[in-house]
Structure 1
Amino acid sequence: MSTSTRRLFLAGATATLALPRLAAAQQAAGLPAGWPDRPIRIIVPYSAGGITDVISRGVAIGLQAALGQPVVVDNRPGANGTIGTTAAARAPADGTTLTMGITDTFAINRSTFPSLPYNDEGDFAPISMVTRVPFALMIGAHRREITDFASFVREAQREAGRLSHASWGVGSSSHLAFEFIARSQRFEKLHVPFAAQAPGMQAVASGQVDSMMLPVGGAESLARDNRAHIIALAHPQRIDLTPGVPTLGELGVPLSTGLWLALYAPARTPPAIVARLNEAVRSAVRHEQTLAVFRQQAGTPEPSTPEELAAFVRAEREQWGQLVREKGIRVAA
């Protein structure tokens, strides 16, 4: 037997001997033997190209490395994220189907929909927070007279309901963040909702709509191509991705908000699997390729315990619900 053949034989023998120990360790932790034994699916309740899709694909890379199984993204867009989120709620509770929950689907929709086809608490087991990305106020390049926040407010007040703003749906976080600015600066506006982030961005870039509140990574991509410009950040401090852009706080508007993203499994997923997934997320969000995706969106890793995520989202529901009630925003049945 050659040296190389002997090495391969010994490596294979060692791996074979390790399998029973691995199975025993999984059983001791309460995990099914060999779990996960097939690919993991992340249902994204929005179309490809938006922030939820981009972050989910970045996280999938890290999860695949942590779990040793392929992790695929399954886009199920529609109805402010309710179609995909409902599909995730009804998936088998075996830890192989997850969903990327966001501010809209887990904190806002219950206040804006007269009847929600899923229960954002009862139908899901929280796994971990993933990241948060700040919002930016973006103005289309066709509005040359708007060069900063002061001129934006001036034009919005002068036009009295004609300045238009895009969002990815009535009652979305993009819509509500803009409502907050309009309320604080006392101007009326024209809301133009789209089915997803990407078409709203394109409408602003093409001059069909004047403005949009959206994750800063998407806004920066249009500003880089001179199709739009960013006049303010809804963030506590300025960020490297958009040098020179002031925060809304600096401009006298007390708004610091954005989109948070977190992973959930269907309710009744065994606690041992939830714990293993939480461990995998903590590893995934520090994977080199996942971090590169976060940086492009001005996001940072923010893993949490399931309990921390649940408490955070309860507070978010109350905060957003209050704004929805004040503005009387409802999604048509």
Structure 2
Amino acid sequence: MKSSYLARRAALALGLAFGASLAAAPAVAPLAWAQSFPNRPVTLVIPFAAGGSTDVVGRIVAQKMSENLGQSVVVENVAGAGGSVGATRVARADADGYTILMATVATHALNPLMLRQKPYDPQTDFEPISLLVVVPNVLLVNPGFPPTTVNELLELVRSEEPGHYDFASSGNGTPLHLSGALFNSLADVDIQHIPYQGSGPALNDVIGGQVPIIFDNLPSASAHIKAGTLRALGVTTKTRAPSFPEIPTIDESLPGYETYTWNALFAPKGTPPEAIERIHAAAVTAMEDPDVIARMAEFSAEIVAGTPEELRAHVAAETEKWTPVVEEAGVRLD
């Protein structure tokens, strides 16, 4: 999680992205429409099951945005295909500002790289609104599983036949799946991947002992870490998470290891700029709220609350970054 990195790469693309966004912007809506938006509830599609990191962040933000917009922001969980089902729902929704997406690195960088049939284009089928937060991932185990450190986990895995142990994730091709794939690659081990339909069901099975290991986002796992129902072995960022400074980084045991995810708001392509501006303002105000800042700090989600132009540049940079990783992992999704 590097604010300077995000700011630096956004600045490099800002001029070009801003010009492109102006050229692609739809005609200005009538003043009366702009002044009345929104006059009914806005639907925030979360493309994963309830209980996961994106759901946690989305519900916190939706509540505050409702206050700022003067209309309810209703959360709708549309899980499936690593986030692609929910993202497709928004890409095909009416471009009127009343349906928006809580996107992630999966929906807007990874899935388009891995899907054989692409239901949407992340850079042309959406209007960017704001990159809200950057979020660490974490490697966890059931508390009854013997390893208490990354090194102990590697020793145990290497003592058995390849594929003897499994790790859970929120789904095929998700950042958490690729976090595990990168771990296998760098450590030269073979821990088998067990995909779930969202982080919530995956966490439940690891807590229940059906699967011993999981890569998850820190927001959805933080309560379980504090309660002792899951044991954290390492965070996936290069530096330790401020909310859990006692948890080492995986990089401390496996040099070169780093992954993270992020949450951002998008609307369907062609959404009027007045709606984008109104939603953006409500989202930024929400992220400046002391209660939201405190909640995000609990699980070390770094608040960004950037502009639409910065988000457009961010998606382009993330696509470039993940392309070689996906190719090396050989992950392809139907």
Measured on the aligned residues, the alpha-carbon RMSD in Å equals: 1.9
User: 2: CA distance between counterparts of 1:276 and 1:78?
Assistant: 29
Q: Cα offset for 1:179? A: 0.9
User: 1: CA distance between counterparts of 2:298 and 2:234?
Assistant: 18
Whichever residue aligns with residue 286 of structure 1, its letter is: E
Deviations 1:22-74 (A, max 9, x none): xxxx9897962312111111011111111111111111122122212111111
User: 1: CA distance between counterparts of 2:251 and 2:63?
Assistant: 35
Larger RCO of the pair (alpha carbons < 8 Å, separation 6+)? 2
Query: Which of residues 277, 300, 303 in structure 1 aligns to 2:302?
Result: 300
Q: Partner residue of 2:12?
A: none
Q: Cα offset for 1:325? A: 0.9
Q: Is 1:61 matched up with 2:63? A: yes
User: 2: CA distance between counterparts of 1:155 and 1:319?
Assistant: 32
Instruction: Please say which structure displays the higher CA radius of gyration.
Output: 1
What SS does structure 1 have at the residue aligned with 2:76? Answer: strand
Whichever residue aligns with residue 236 of structure 2, its letter is: A
Identity %: 31
Query: Which of residues 37, 45, 63 in structure 2 aligns to 1:35?
Result: 37
Q: Is 1:215 matched up with 2:217? A: yes
Q: Cα offset for 1:78? A: 1.4
User: 2: CA distance between counterparts of 1:285 and 1:79?
Assistant: 29
Contact 2:186–2:257 (8 Å) recurs in 1: no
Q: Partner residue of 2:170?
A: 168
Deviations 1:198-241 (A, max 9, x none): 11111111111121111123333223333321111112322243
User: 1: CA distance between counterparts of 2:138 and 2:310?
Assistant: 27
Please report the TM-score for the alignment, with normalisation by the length of structure 1: 0.86
Whichever residue aligns with residue 69 of structure 1, its letter is: Q
What SS does structure 1 have at the residue aligned with 2:36? Answer: coil
What SS does structure 1 have at the residue aligned with 2:159? Answer: helix
Q: Which moved more, 1:155-164 or 1:122-131?
A: 155-164
Contact 2:29–2:274 (8 Å) recurs in 1: no
Whichever residue aligns with residue 171 of structure 1, its letter is: G
Q: Partner residue of 1:153?
A: 154
Contact 1:61–1:290 (8 Å) recurs in 2: no
What SS does structure 1 have at the residue aligned with 2:231? Answer: strand
Q: Which structure 2 residues correspond to residues 99-178 of structure 1 after superposition, within 5 A?
A: 99-144=101-146, 146-159=147-160, 160-178=162-180
Q: Partner residue of 1:324?
A: 326
Name segments (4+ residues, structure 1) moved above 4 Å. 26-31
Ranges in structure 1 where 5+ consecutive residues have no aligned partner:
1-25
Q: Cα offset for 1:89? A: 0.9
User: 1: CA distance between counterparts of 2:152 and 2:305?
Assistant: 39
Q: Partner residue of 2:311?
A: 309
Contact 2:59–2:75 (8 Å) recurs in 1: yes
Deviations 1:286-322 (A, max 9, x none): 1233234323332132111111111111111122221
Q: Is 1:195 matched up with 2:197? A: yes
Q: Number of aligned pairs?
A: 306
User: 1: CA distance between counterparts of 2:253 and 2:58?
Assistant: 33
Q: Which moved more, 1:203-212 or 1:172-181?
A: 203-212
Q: Partner residue of 1:11?
A: none
Q: Cα offset for 1:157? A: 1.9
Q: Cα offset for 1:280? A: 1.9
What SS does structure 1 have at the residue aligned with 2:148? Answer: coil
Deviations 1:66-124 (A, max 9, x none): 21211111111112112111111111111111110111111100111110212212210
Ranges in structure 2 where 5+ consecutive residues have no aligned partner:
1-27
Query: Which of residues 289, 292, 306 in structure 1 aligns to 2:291?
Result: 289
User: 2: CA distance between counterparts of 1:132 and 1:311?
Assistant: 15
Q: Partner residue of 2:185?
A: 183
User: 1: CA distance between counterparts of 2:259 and 2:284?
Assistant: 24
What SS does structure 1 have at the residue aligned with 2:153? Answer: helix
Q: Partner residue of 1:44?
A: 46
Whichever residue aligns with residue 130 of structure 2, its letter is: S
What SS does structure 1 have at the residue aligned with 2:232? Answer: strand
User: 2: CA distance between counterparts of 1:162 and 1:149?
Assistant: 17
Change (3 A) 1:317 1:30: farther
Contact 2:132–2:263 (8 Å) recurs in 1: yes
